[in-house]
Each structure stands twice: as C-alpha cells, then as structure tokens.
Amino acid sequence: MKSLTNKNILLAVTGSISAYKSPNIIRKLQELGAQVKVILTNSGSQFITKLSLEIISKNKVYDDLWAENEEMAHINLTRWADVFLIAPASANTINKLANGHANDLLTTTVLASNIPLIIAPAMNQQMFKTIENNLNQLKNKGVISIEEFGEQACGDIGLGRFADTNKIIEVIIKQFQTTELTGKKILITVGATIENIDPVRYISNRSSGKMGVALANTCIEFGAEVYVIYGNISTQLPQKSKNIKVNTADEMFQAVMDNIKDCDIFIGCAAVADYKVKKISPQKIKKHADEINLTLIKNKDIITEVAKNYPNIFIVGFAAESENLLENAKNKLKNKQLNMIIANQISDKNIGFEVDENEVTILTKNKHFFIEKNNKKKIAKKIIKKIINFL
C-alpha cells in the first residue's frame, strides 16, 4: 500500500520563482497515492499557469474567492483536505497569514482550516530575516515550516532557499504516522448484511461501508492491528487489514465470535439486519398472487453478545436513527452495555448512508460530543481520537 493512499492534499502555490517546482511536488504526491487539489494565488500565476497545474493535478485549480459556481470554496476545500501545504510560501503570504488577513482565497481557506498546515518558505535570505518574526509567530500557532539553507536564485546564500521536494514529501507523510494504537487489536464490522428471500431476492439496507472503512483506515494509520468483517459494501477495503467477507447476519455473528478473542476494541459499524426470513424459498418465487407474506424472525444482536461475553473489550456501537436521535442512542448505549455509541441522523440525505459526508454525536455514559458535518475520513479520525482518550 502506498504511503499516501486515500489521502487528500491541498497545495497552495504563491508568488515565488520556486513555483516552477510545484508540478514535481504534485507528481510525487500522486505517485504515493494522494489526490491533490491546487490553490493558485494571483502572484503565483506570474510564475506558473493555471492550465499547467490543472493538467498535472488532474483537478480543477482554484484561484478566485469570488468565482461563480464555487460557493464556499474556502470551506469545501479544507473539508476535503487532510493536509494543507503552501509551497512555495512567499514573504507576502507569510506576513498575511501571521496577521490574520482574509482578503483572497488562500488566506480565507487557511482561516477556515483545522487541518495540519505546512509551509515551505521561498525567498531571498535578507527577506527571510525580515519576515522571521512573523514566521515564528505562525510556528508558535502550530504551523509546520520547512526551512532550508543554501544558494538562492539571486546568488545569495542563506535561509530562504526552497526546500527539496523529497524533504517536503517526508514531512507530509509524517502527518499520517502515529503510534497511539500500536499493540492494539481492533475488530470492525462494516457494510450491510443480506438476508435471502429466494435465490434472486433479498432484504438489505443502504449502508455503503464508507464510514466503517474510514474507521479501519484511521486505526491502521494509528498503528493498530485491524480486522475488518464486511458485508455488502460499495467502497475499497484497506489493504493492511485482515478482511473477512460475510453475507448474512448469522455469518457476521460467527465471524465476530471467531475473531473477537484478544481484541482491545470492537467497533460495530455494520448495518446488520434486525430480522431474517424464517423460510427461504429454494426456488425463485413466481409472480402469481397479488400478495405474498414473509415471516421474519429476529437475528442475534452481535454487539450485545460481544458486550455480554467480553466485558474487558472497549465496545463502540452505532445508532442510525430517523427520529429521537439522542434519546434512542442513549437507550442503546445503556441497554447494550456499550462504552461508546455514535449517533447519526439518517433522515438527512446529505449525510450518512451512501454519501461521503457525515455528522455525528459521540455518546458515553456521562458525556456527549457533537462532530459537525465533514467527510467521513475526518469524522473517523475524530472518533478514533475520542476512543483513545477513553482507553
């Protein structure tokens, strides 16, 4: 698996002669599996064209805060991205960011961002000395600055030389490396189960598996050994987890029980069918009668059985609700004896099932935390960090 697979990098190119090196950064990121989108400032466009960056990134380049059909680009770009890289970062850009300016697409996007911000300054050594106080101010706020000493385009030697591409890539990769879950074994159920009616038809639901896979990828990123038991999904599974395919709720129950031993955390993210058909027809049911009756019987409750039999495991459930969200989630948390439950509203078609974004509330026995609408990768990271805090 490439080290930046499924990662989204937002690259801003500002006014420096070093802007000509930006295409190489984009290619390197793509080779490692990342998706790259670009913000090009007006000054940056004096050194490299928008068209060149669009062709190389294979994505639209953003250059205007007020562009038509780009409503809230400064919000949507930072929601999409996992890391924000400004390379090259000009003296003017650093000064504006240090002083909280918000007069163009780049500066407003930085202010709207809560993701890691990395800058690679590129300027004359004397200019670097002049802006160093502002640069230190940004670093004190958590901005990562990649600085390099050496010969510059003007012939001077000193700090302000644009950092080597490989050094920039290494810093980006480090943002996704953590050992907070090293040594932990985590079992996650993902996707929808299928309950057969006959050889053609079945009962299922709209779960895509995207939330569960996002959680699995985050656990892997944090150093855990991850087992994924998955049903019907419409997304790509992690390559670094042990993946076990099932179809029915009974099969998922058995796979969980076969693999739960020695786990530290169990996350029941799958949308498991509550009921199954009592008698499956061995042949396709013909369309003769105006009505047919199916008798359904209850499936085993997987997460309840795990909680009952493995009290030392940290157990996280999900509550997908169309009404009384928090009340229903609290009841499930208590009745199923879970450590944590993630509640999400399914009546809003823009979040939850089948889409890339979600909005959830994390509930524990005494606390609850609301996570506003964002892409599922970022939601997953916030959930896992909350779990780590409770371990």
CATH number, residue 134: 3.40.50.1950
d(Cα 365, Cα 185) in Å, to the nearest integer?
A: 24
Residues 89 and 200 occupy one common structural domain: no
**Which amino acid appears at position 350 of this protein?**
N
- Token pair recorded at residue 370: 């609301």
User: 26 near 55, Cβ under 8 Å?
Assistant: no
Residues 168 and 300 occupy one common structural domain: no
3-state secondary structure of 32: coil
The answer to whether residue 136 is domain-embedded is yes
Low-confidence ranges of the chain (pLDDT < 70): 1-2
User: 340 near 363, Cβ under 8 Å?
Assistant: yes
The answer to whether residue 180 is domain-embedded is no
d(Cα 18, Cα 328) in Å, to the nearest integer?
A: 56
User: 266 near 316, Cβ under 8 Å?
Assistant: yes
Residues 113 and 234 occupy one common structural domain: no
Q: Give me the pLDDT at residue 67, please.
A: 86
Domain holding 96, by residue range, is 8-174
The answer to whether residue 238 is domain-embedded is yes
Segment 274-292, tens digit of pLDDT: 999 999 999 999 988 899 9
Q: Give me the pLDDT at residue 354, please.
A: 78
- Report the 10 Å Cβ neighbour count for 265: 23
Residues 64 and 190 occupy one common structural domain: no
Of 174, 207, 237, which closes a domain? Answer: 174
Q: Select from 215, 269, 268, 210 the least CA-distant residue to 241.
A: 215
Q: Show which residues are catalytic.
A: 154
3-state secondary structure of 345: strand
Residues 162 and 227 occupy one common structural domain: no
3-state secondary structure of 359: strand
Cα within 13 Å of Cα(61), Cβ side: 24
Of 116, 144, 174, which closes a domain? Answer: 174
Q: Give me the pLDDT at residue 133, please.
A: 96
Residues 341 and 214 occupy one common structural domain: yes
Of 126, 154, 174, which closes a domain? Answer: 174
CB proximity list for 277: less than 8 A, separation 6 or greater: 195, 196, 197, 203, 294, 295, 296, 297
**Which amino acid appears at position 152 of this protein?**
Q
CATH number at residue 262: 3.40.50.10300
The answer to whether residue 179 is domain-embedded is no
Task: Give the count of domains, the chain.
Answer: 2
280-311 b/e (C-beta count within 10 Å ≥ 16 → b): ebeeeeeeeeeeeeeeeeebebbbbebbeebe
User: 385 near 178, Cβ under 8 Å?
Assistant: no
Residues 200 and 133 occupy one common structural domain: no
Three-state SS sequence of 145-157: ECCEEEECCCCCE
Distances (CA, A) of 285 to 197, 199, 291, 296: 9, 9, 12, 16
Residues 314 and 379 occupy one common structural domain: yes
The answer to whether residue 189 is domain-embedded is yes
CB proximity list for 295: less than 8 A, separation 6 or greater: 277, 278, 279
Axis crossing angle, helix 249-259 with helix 302-309, rounded to the nearest 10? 20
CB proximity list for 246: less than 8 A, separation 6 or greater: 193, 229, 230, 231, 252, 255
d(Cα 180, Cα 186) in Å, to the nearest integer?
A: 13
Segment 195-213, tens digit of pLDDT: 999 999 999 999 999 999 9
Q: Give me the pLDDT at residue 198, please.
A: 95
Residues 255 and 113 occupy one common structural domain: no
List, in sequence order, every beta strand (DSSP E) within 211-367. Answer: 225-230, 242-245, 265-268, 275-277, 296-298, 314-321, 340-345, 357-363
User: 120 near 94, Cβ under 8 Å?
Assistant: no
The answer to whether residue 3 is domain-embedded is no
Residues 150 and 220 occupy one common structural domain: no
The answer to whether residue 1 is domain-embedded is no
d(Cα 112, Cα 308) in Å, to the nearest integer?
A: 44
Q: Select from 235, 114, 240 the least CA-distant residue to 181.
A: 240
The answer to whether residue 2 is domain-embedded is no
Residues 166 and 276 occupy one common structural domain: no
CB proximity list for 245: less than 8 A, separation 6 or greater: 230
What is the dihedral sign for C-alpha 199, 201, 203, 208?
A: positive
Residues 342 and 246 occupy one common structural domain: yes
Q: Give me the pLDDT at residue 70, please.
A: 76
